[in-house]
Structure 1
Amino acid sequence: MAKNWIPLRQVEGTASRQAHVRLPEGTYEREISKEGFFGPSAQFHHRHKPTDWVEFDGPIRPRALDLNKLATVQANPWNADLVMGNNHLQMRYWRLDKAMPELARNSDGDQLLFIHEGNGALFCDYGHLDYAGGDYLVIPRGTMWRLEPAKPTTSLMIEATNDHFTLPDKGLVGRHAIFDPAMLDTPRIDEAFLAQQDERTWRVSVKRRNALSTVTYPFNPLDAIGWHGDLSVVRINWRDLRPLMSHRFHLPPSAHTTWATGRFVVCTFVPRPLESDPEALRLPFFHNNDDFEEVIFYHKGSFFSRDNIHPGMMTVHPTGFTHGPHPKAFNAATKGGKTETDEVAVMIDTRDAIDVAAMPAGVEFEGYVKSWRPQEMKQAAE
């Protein structure tokens, strides 16, 4: 059923007429909205930062995980470290240091691999495709595939359970926005693909309903000599993304959506100029997290809106609390000097509550929830 929102446009008290622009002096803006950033919203102007809490207890506390400390190398992707999931997605952190000895097939949903480190070759039903750090690989449900690293490879694997990945609706900006679909590379039936076909015994590890089955063949089942159609594995690198920007208005995270499913979206933050209009906010605005859980994986660069974060870490912001930039980032952005971002990160926004897997000791940064404390409180604690 289509959503018919209550029609309302109200201005009360001392308030700006435009979201994120011309804030009343000495105030901090907080946004509450429906449907992430797509539906009705209200912007409040507060005397204090909405994140200046002094204590924070309970299950909705923000969390930070250092996935670099998940050091397990696995030849089978389904045995990789489970990081979190729900009924509609699974996220695993996978380290692979040599060629997979068998094929994998996901019968639970489409698979998205974000290559954090390493390079090598992907062999699949559709052919051969090289991969490198910063690549997204979208593998349709039911595809047989394997990786053959040239350098040890670490990837964030995101499964769309009983769903598939599509491109987001690009609306007014048109189909070439963010990236032209012509930039999507597909595998080739080339010499490398034909050369790997052999008559050895091969096994296929099939995941269905989180249980594994093994199918054994007396030959390599990646033995296609050609194919046609409009379904395929696709590859694109974050360096080929051209983010939407406005020098006069801070665009919400939804403007950076790269992949969409029925219950979650995957966004990519890449380097971009900061807003230059002195009347506009120059960093993420404080906002409630009410319709979506927010997960961010930090791939590369200096993460200016977060403190004590480095590549390979992941933050989890559950539904139910207001969040925004950390104090150091807020001060750096509002006082000027910084003209562009220098960060690459993958954000997963999911409508459904997400369960974080049990982590080995040392993986979670327990002090993350305290990093929003006012600077003077941090200094006093030190």
Structure 2
Amino acid sequence: METFKASGIYTKQAHVNIPEGLYEEEHGRKGFFGRVSQLYHENPPVNWSNIEGDLKPRNLPTLFDHPDAQDTTISTLENNDCVVSIGTFNKSFELFYRNADFDELYFIHEGLGRLETTYGHLNYKKGDYIIIPRGTTYQFFIDQKTKVLQVESASEFEEPSRGILGPNALYDQTAIETPTAALGSRKDLKEYTVVIKRLGKMTRVTYPFNPLDVKGWKGSVYPSKLSIYDICPVMSHRYHMPPSAHTTYVCNNFVICSFVERPLEDTKHGVLKVPFYHSNIDYDEVLFYHQGNFFSRDNIDAGAMTFHPQGIHHGPHPKAFNSVDNKTHTDEFAVMIDTRYPLKPTKWFSDNENKDYWKSWM
């Protein structure tokens, strides 16, 4: 049982009717899933005048056209639990691929095509989450240039508990698509090569037949697809829901959340419409901006990524407070990755990031 205490000036309800001239910070544990307190500052906790050292908000601009990201994925952030990458597929895979290190999630930022796997085929389009269990052999067939956010996970991607919301909350189970059993479409080659990733190294295995030769399957391990546009957000006109309410997948030591278009909270109830300031004391936070008007962020385009590490405050840019009162809805779509243990930016991230991003709150 939590023992709530209070002192000084505070609100009756978190995120509602914040006292004039004060700024609310949420100081929480276990990301947005644990114990929490609200603090009421005289100044926004992001109004720094300088930061010296590595602990600062970071931003990777839209880089899907970068030469290093063509027809492959390139790692941006990683720890022992997950690897976050981006990439652009301009053409269909020539070889087959199997990941023996990680389960995989592909979020289709742009594009159209087909995924062929040992379980059969899945057509994909913009906004689709595709889950591929570890050890599945697959190929991408590209109909339109495909830009992807890839998350490799040391554990399985599982659905969150819906609790008192019931089984049809967030999305109906029929919104999840699974492969239709089918053989691989390529039949005209003398040799078929599977590239297998194991312990970070690649092994090539060659067959005289298409390895996607499964004529049927049953069970509870299989690829799946869910569109971000089919997600029904949890919301309240009188309370700003924390990101945990938007959880789409749960893995060991990290979660993936989906922010989708929705009505905003009702101004007449004094509800904070923009994300509240918080300090991420137990989790790193990554946001991938997919589509829409990202009103809480300045100079962020679709396809960009922001990284807010544990221990440094973050929250809306100043312009968000000036423009939000008259807004009745948001049309933004974004993917959030919250990790229990620190993520390490790769050299490629560091070489290509916007090094002045932290100054955008000043």
TM-score computed with the length of structure 2 as normaliser: 0.96
Residue 216 of structure 2 corresponds to residue 226 of structure 1: yes
Report the CA distance shift for 1:124/1:301 in structure 2 as closer, same or farther (over 3 A): same
Aligned residue pair count = 360
The 1-side partners of 2:149 and 2:240 are apart by 28
The 1-side partners of 2:209 and 2:319 are apart by 58
> Which of 326, 330, 335 is 1:346 aligned to?
335
Residue 227 of structure 2 corresponds to residue 237 of structure 1: yes
Give the residue type in structure 1 aligned to 2:240: H
The 1-side partners of 2:349 and 2:131 are apart by 29
Q: Quote how far apart the aligned CAs of 1:200 are.
A: 3.1
1:378 paired residue number = none
Q: CA RMSD in A?
A: 1.6
2:287 paired residue number = 296
> Which of 167, 174, 184 is 1:182 aligned to?
174
The 1-side partners of 2:185 and 2:57 are apart by 49
> Which of 211, 214, 217 is 2:204 aligned to?
214
2:38 paired residue number = 43
Residue 71 of structure 2 corresponds to residue 71 of structure 1: no
The 1-side partners of 2:93 and 2:240 are apart by 44
Moved more, 273-282 or 304-313: 273-282
Give the residue type in structure 2 aligned to 1:176: N
Report the CA distance shift for 1:47/1:360 in structure 2 as closer, same or farther (over 3 A): closer
Contact map agreement 1:90 1:160 (CA 8 A) in 2: yes
The 1-side partners of 2:208 and 2:70 are apart by 24
TM-score computed with the length of structure 1 as normaliser: 0.91
Contact map agreement 2:75 2:348 (CA 8 A) in 1: no
Residue 323 of structure 2 corresponds to residue 332 of structure 1: yes
Which residues in structure 2 correspond to 1:1-382 (within 5 Å)?
Answer: 7-68=2-63, 70-72=66-68, 74-75=70-71, 77=72, 80-161=73-154, 163-190=155-182, 193=183, 195-197=185-187, 200-276=190-266, 277-333=268-324, 336-359=325-348, 363-373=352-362
Identity value in percent = 43
In the alignment, structure 1 segments of 5+ residues that lack a partner are 374-382
Look up the SS of the partner of 1:255 in the other structure: helix
Look up the SS of the partner of 1:297 in the other structure: strand
Q: Deviations over 1:186-214 (max 9, x none)?
A: 11125xx4643566311111111111111
The 2-side partners of 1:217 and 1:73 are apart by 29
Q: Quote how far apart the aligned CAs of 1:146 are.
A: 0.7
Report the CA distance shift for 1:159/1:367 in structure 2 as closer, same or farther (over 3 A): same
Q: Quote how far apart the aligned CAs of 1:285 are.
A: 0.6
Moved more, 17-26 or 178-187: 17-26
The 1-side partners of 2:349 and 2:336 are apart by 23
Q: Quote how far apart the aligned CAs of 1:369 are.
A: 0.4
Contact map agreement 1:70 1:363 (CA 8 A) in 2: no
